[in-house]
Structure 1
Amino acid sequence: MSTEYKGPLSVETRKIAKDELREDDNSRAQALRQMRDWIEKNPKIISCRTDDSFLLRFLRFKKFSVPMAQEAMERYILLRQTVKIAFHNLDHTLPKMAHLIDNGYLFAVPGRDKLGRRWIIGRPGVFDPYKFINEDMCRVHGIVYETLMEDEENQVRGFVHYADGAGVSLPYLTLFTPKEAVRIVKNGERTLPMRHKEVHVINVPSSLKYVLDWGMTLISDKIKKRVKIYTTAEEAANNLDVSMLPKEYGGTIPMSEMIESFKKELVASRQQLMDNDNMEVRLELFSVQAKEGAVSALKSGNQSCNPYKTDVLTGSFRKLEVD
């Protein structure tokens, strides 16, 4: 396979990549060569993609620090293999996945904003905890995020998240234990090679505000500064580029049209997402801590980033009365 990069980045995006990520023709060529050599010689890796787009998502994620990109990629493949519900069989045509996507649980807005970023709309209230399980939630996120990460423009430009908490209620807390929630948040920031540029949240139920406050303690200060919380969609619309939002939130394009447009992207990337299941590492060469996805916040005796005791939260979550 030729190692000459023939990437699709626009001239403007290449400049951003150079300014923000230290990427140019020379650094890219050297880094890609180093990544491929490392994969070939790494005893932990059995099978792994070596195409430019896949390797570059990690290099860009780590601003072309090759050692950090290698660590991130190894951790990513390990995560795929140990948490298969979120990364394997990412088929948007599965009945449950099709239902969630058709109803606007999670989708990307067509086009890009003035900074070239893709917007991801999340509507967790669409997820019925009586009909779906946490595996379904993990898988639909995997489908959407993996599809978007295949695009190199997205790897450089990053993403804006817009989440509507309307309809979310206490039964949602039974989907994951606090420990699982911590791992999801940590891996979402540290393992998935996505550049999260902004996060906007509306309609947070007052009964669940303490959960959001707790979640904010789990993310880095860098991401925390990018999170904006609004009481209503109208308040958010006064502070955002509404042209990127569905008509239902102040934009001009109906949500149903946006979803149908995004489904075309899902169709185009479906086979690649399915083929990704062939990536594999030797689990026996990883530590137990690594395989369990342990994070520093949950190490014995360390509760510094968690204002709520994990065992108390677990008990509270599991004892909730579900109507």
Structure 2
Amino acid sequence: MPPSVEINSDGAPFAPIGKHQLRLELEDLPPDFQERARVELLETPERVQEGLANFRNLIQAETGLNLPLDDDKFLCKFLRPFKFNAEQAFKMMKRFYKFKVKYPRYGGFNVTPQGVRHVFDSEVFMFLPTRSITGGRIMIINAGTKWNPKEVLLEDMFRSIMVAIEIAMLEPKTQVGGVNVILNTEGLSISHACQFSPSLAKLIIDWIQECAPVRLRGIHVINQPMIFNMVYKIFKPFLGEYIKKRLIFHGNDLKGLAEKVGPESLPPTLGGVADIPKYPGSIFSDMLFYYQDDFKKHNTYGYLDEIKEKVENNSETK
């Protein structure tokens, strides 16, 4: 029997995957992560309160920006990656919400788990139930064998990345431990390569570099065929130092991948030793269904009037 979504005693959904659980970890930081936050992010009660106060002042002074100012957890997901420096966090947060205004097609009101469910169902994008050796989320993009461009458009893949980052931002552990992306290019073909354009490549890279408030630990590229070089040439001109420092090409060296991410965090199919049996991508979609209302609520934040105006203007010109 394939695993299915269950509900724990706290009312939260999870799916048992071997000895692990696939779930969103929304609880407060446990003691070991609290210590890491103190050491790595200079997180102390005094610094948190100072950062929150300064952050609220900056938000209140920004015209047209709608955010839940009384929700500390919401504000901390922007502050924590910037060590509670309110000015830096505010600059990133503005870019995060301004992107939704500038590109409503990608970042408007339709960026929800159900809106990209087919990407998760097809296993083009997956979350592992384990965490990396740095305590970060492990996300897998199967940009080859599992990707049918006729069913999963490149635009949908981009939206799924945006949804995944929104999920990562919700988890306090991930705010501290960061995110590891494994880009599996096995089976990448000319039909896949033809989906990429310089303009969309730039859009994706700019969003990751300038708008995503998460600690990106690494982008691990594995199983590259020759055609990958063609795709990489499209993206390479737009890569800044931030991504270049985190981009690792492993080829078929899955042992090297496991050393970077953690052998206890990866299944044998990715060079690890973790007991993670194969599970359908629909499990993750089913679990996210329980959070659909939360994502709809998040879509009520930001520069809403500007987004509505942009959408209406686009509709009128069609």
The equivalent residue for 1:42 is 62
Equivalent-residue separation in structure 1 for 2:78 and 2:186 (angstroms) = 34
1:100 CA displacement: 2.2
Is this contact kept in 2: 1:92–1:143, CA < 8 A? Answer: yes
SS of 1:90 mapped into structure 2: coil
Q: Could you give the per-residue CA deviations for residues 167-216 of structure 1, whole angstroms, max 9, x where no partner exists? A: 22233344343122112112202211111112211112212314325534
1:132 CA displacement: 3.2
Within the alignment, does 1:167 sit opposite 2:190 as a pair? Answer: no
| Structure 2 CA distance for partners of 1:37 and 1:234, relative to 1, 3 Å | closer
Question: What amino acid sits opposite 2:300 in the alignment?
Answer: N
Is this contact kept in 1: 2:95–2:210, CA < 8 A? Answer: no
SS of 2:131 mapped into structure 1: coil
Is this contact kept in 2: 1:108–1:120, CA < 8 A? Answer: yes
The equivalent residue for 1:255 is 278
Within the alignment, does 1:189 sit opposite 2:212 as a pair? Answer: no
Is this contact kept in 2: 1:21–1:60, CA < 8 A? Answer: yes
Question: What amino acid sits opposite 2:118 in the alignment?
Answer: H
Equivalent-residue separation in structure 2 for 1:74 and 1:270 (angstroms) = 24
| Aligned mate of 1:244, from 262, 265, 274 | 265
SS of 2:49 mapped into structure 1: helix
| Aligned mate of 1:271, from 268, 287, 293 | 293
Unpaired runs of 5+ residues, structure 2, are: 1-26, 307-318
| Aligned mate of 1:112, from 94, 119, 131 | 131
Q: CA RMSD in A?
A: 2.7
Within the alignment, does 1:99 sit opposite 2:114 as a pair? Answer: no
Aligned residue pair count = 275
1:107 CA displacement: 1.7
The equivalent residue for 1:287 is none
The equivalent residue for 1:130 is 150
Equivalent-residue separation in structure 1 for 2:191 and 2:53 (angstroms) = 49
Equivalent-residue separation in structure 2 for 1:199 and 1:53 (angstroms) = 27
Worse-superposed segment, 272-281 or 216-225: 216-225
What TM-score do you get using the length of structure 1 for normalisation? 0.75
Unpaired runs of 5+ residues, structure 1, are: 1-6, 285-323
The equivalent residue for 1:303 is none
Question: What amino acid sits opposite 1:248 in the alignment?
Answer: T
What TM-score do you get using the length of structure 2 for normalisation? 0.76
SS of 2:113 mapped into structure 1: coil
Q: Which runs of 4+ in 1 moved over 6 A?
A: none
Question: What amino acid sits opposite 1:53 in the alignment?
Answer: K
Is this contact kept in 2: 1:72–1:191, CA < 8 A? Answer: yes
The equivalent residue for 2:13 is none
1:44 CA displacement: 3.7
Identity across matched positions, percent? 24
Within the alignment, does 1:56 sit opposite 2:56 as a pair? Answer: no
The equivalent residue for 1:206 is 226
Worse-superposed segment, 204-213 or 61-70: 204-213
The equivalent residue for 2:19 is none
Question: What amino acid sits opposite 1:253 in the alignment?
Answer: I
The equivalent residue for 1:90 is 111
